[in-house]
Amino acid sequence: MLIDVVKILLPTATAFFVGIAITPFLTDFLYHHKMWKKSSVKLTMDGREATISGKLHNDEERKTPRMGGVVVWGSVFITAFLFFILAAIFPDSFFAKLSFLSREQTWLPLFTLIAGALFGLIDDYLVCRESGTYAGGGLSLRVRLAFVFFLATAGAWWFYVKLGMDIVHVPFVGDVYLGVWFIPLFIIFMIGIYSGGIIDGVDGLSGGVFASIFTAYAVIAFAQGQIDLAAFSSVLVGGLLAFLWFNIPPARFFNSETGTMALTTALTVVAFLTKAVLVLPIIAFILIATSASSLIQILSKRYRGGKKVFLVAPLHNHFQALGWPPYKVTMRYWVISVVLALVGTIIALVG
């Protein structure tokens, strides 16, 4: 029991310090190469003038680099590799018990994390090299969704064929057999959670929210005896805290696509591995609400003659438009995330 706790806490602390250590090098690179958007948002996704969004995202004046997510997944990758090497060099030592890389629990989420990170990195690079008129720039939304769909399909196939997983646990009901319908459910969840990555829009916001979510799944995995998966989730929290250290106002860099795509896709895999995927909408409610607000806004403007539900979408920008200072939005989102993480964890454990 004690060694299991150490196996989770020591790599988590290591990931934090690794993230702190690599940040100066990343910061120097990003500022030297001016890796920020060269223009603010001018048009919304439906082609209308983005007057409010343009004021909230004045990127050419802030000159805050993207690609800060490298701190998160980079620290996780380095930490995982470090403890794996130490276990290989000293097979009969204390370090042999600390490696959390295992085929059954962590290979798939780590692969998904890195795959999403690298593809997102391509998008970030293109965004920083373009002066786009529309919201975003870089790879089109269609291309990014196509990649997530491909990643989700591959992950669903692995779960269904390789791991033989064809059930989903319904809290307070029990396991429900899905058969081949497990595959589309997996795909829907990954795309849905990925769409919530647009939460990365206010200094410190995404780091705190994702840290709460992965902490919840670390607790769930630990309670289920999935120690390697608990360690992986907790190490992600360590990397997120290192990122958050530099992302609190004024942010040194943004998480951006390389961070959000990595985190959201890996989160889906972790949720399914713990069989606690149906509490994901509770634990990650902030992500879902963020994505839903944008979808509601688009549909409302299209089918209600241009009428808007929110002053601006996504939801956190709506609160800013109401006059909330950014730090107030961030802090309240953190509080809500922690509370919902607690509620979701309780339901997962007792249900």
Could you read off the pLDDT of 223-251 as tens digits, one per residue?
999 999 999 999 999 999 999 999 998 89
* pLDDT for position 68: 96
Ramachandran class of 185: left when φ > 0, alpha when ψ lies in -120 to 50, beta otherwise: alpha
Q: What's the angle, vertex CA 31, arms to CA 69 and CA 245, rounded to 5?
A: 45
pLDDT tens-digit series, residues 27-59: 999 999 989 887 665 555 555 555 555 555 555
175-201 core/surface letters (b: 16 or more CB in 10 A; e: else): eeebeeebbeebbebbbbbbbbbbbbb
Q: Residue 196 corresponds to which tokens in the numbers above? A: 């919530």
* pLDDT for position 53: 56
Tell me the C-alpha distance between 273 and 170, whole Å.
Answer: 14
Q: How many distinct structural domains can be found in the chain?
A: 1
* pLDDT for position 96: 86
Whether the per-residue pLDDT at 211 is higher than 50: the answer is: yes
* pLDDT for position 58: 55
| DSSP for residue 171 | T
Tell me the C-alpha distance between 340 and 335, whole Å.
Answer: 9
Average pLDDT taken over every residue of the chain: 91
Domain range for 313 = 2-350
Please state the rounded mean pLDDT for residues 310-324. 90
Please state the rounded mean pLDDT for residues 103-118. 96
158-173 core/surface letters (b: 16 or more CB in 10 A; e: else): bbbeeeebbebbebee
* pLDDT for position 29: 96
Whether the per-residue pLDDT at 134 is higher than 50: the answer is: no
Burial classification of residue 96, based on how many CB atoms lie within 10 Å of its CB (0-12 exposed, 13-18 middle, 19 or more buried): middle
Burial classification of residue 250, based on how many CB atoms lie within 10 Å of its CB (0-12 exposed, 13-18 middle, 19 or more buried): exposed
* pLDDT for position 85: 95
Q: What percent of the chain has pLDDT over 70?
A: 91
pTM, whole model, 2 decimals?
A: 0.92
Please state the rounded mean pLDDT for residues 288-307. 90
Q: Which of the four pLDDT bands, split at 50, 70 and 90, describes residue 137?
A: low
